[in-house]
Amino acid sequence: MWHSYFSSFFRLFYPKLCEGCHQPLYEDEQILCLSCEANLSYTKFTSPFHNDTTLRLAGRFPFYTATSLAYFYPEGLLQQLLHALKYKYRKDIGYYLGNLLGIWLSDQDIHADYVIPVPIHPRKQRKRGYNQAYLLASGVSKILNLPIHNQALIRTKDTESQTKHNRELRNISVAQAFKVKDPISLANSHILLIDDVLTTGATLEACARALYTIPSIKISIATVGLVMPG
């Protein structure tokens, strides 16, 4: 009771603001108000087997399903959220977006065994303090009630930011950047690979090639954002 009283008192004088419209949030709202959450640029894909995400990755490596929560536009709300997550220590945004992605995935016909986040290099993780894809995967894991294998896939090559590279340069940069620890432990399983944004797909392709060292593996892919060609 006292916790609820002080929480309400604190919010009265120091209200949490929506990351979209900057208006005070109600007590049951997180990160975004219901209006801004409803107005995210959702992809609204009707199938995880045929959509803009699967078309982006088609023919590059085998996968079972692929989907994305929302389209990523420059200066858009999703870009603002992901920028705060990656560069402003807003870990709460990671869990929030992961929950939204998990709710979206719960309506898809995937039935994975494990959630695996795309890893970042240990040097970059020490500098940032966390891996944003792991926070997203944690939100997905909670909604779908799936275990996370956070150390199954590791990044062995520290590459520079890929945001200004084209597909060819991205492929060269991340080639052989990932490795699987103990492939036998994940044999015959269905993995749900989680990342923040799909641009060219080079990072996901490199991850998949490493994961296919696991015997009889099946891979599905889910990202929060999908960048469409300009």
Q: What is the pLDDT of residue 165?
A: 47
User: What confidence score (pLDDT) does residue 4 get?
Assistant: 53
Q: Which domain holds residue 71?
A: 41-227
Residues 20 and 69 both lie in one domain: no
Which segments in the chain show pLDDT lower than 50?
2-3, 5-6, 9-10, 162, 165
Indicate whether this model's pTM tops 0.85. yes
Cα maximum dimension of the chain: 58
CATH number at residue 98: 3.40.50.2020
Q: How do beta strands 218-227 and 114-117 pair?
A: unpaired
Helix pair angle (77-87, 91-105), 10° resolution: 130
Q: Are residues 5 and 60 in the same domain?
A: no
Residues 24 and 78 in one domain: no
- Which residues are CB-contacts of 17 (< 8 A; sequence separation ≥ 6)? 23, 24, 25
Q: Which amino acid is at 92?
A: D
Instruction: Determine how β-strand 153-155 pairs with β-strand 178-180.
Output: antiparallel
Residues 13 and 51 in one domain: no
Give the chain's domain count: 2
Same domain, 14 and 102: no
**Are both 200 and 175 inside the same structural domain?**
yes
Residue type, 57: L
pLDDT at 108: 87
For residues 53 and 34, state if they share a domain: no
**Same domain assignment for residues 11 and 52:** no
47 shares a domain with 35: no
Asked if residue 68 lies in contact with residue 52, where contact means CB atoms within 8 angstroms, the answer is yes
Task: Please state, in angstroms and rounded to a whole number, the distance separating the CA atoms of residues 198 and 227.
Answer: 6
pLDDT digits 0-9 by tens, 73-117: 999 999 999 999 999 999 999 999 999 999 999 988 889 999 999
Residues 124 and 180 in one domain: yes
The verdict on 35 and 131 lying in the same domain is no
How much is the pLDDT for 27? 86
Write down the residue that tokens 């990932």 correspond to: 178
Residues 120 and 215 in one domain: yes
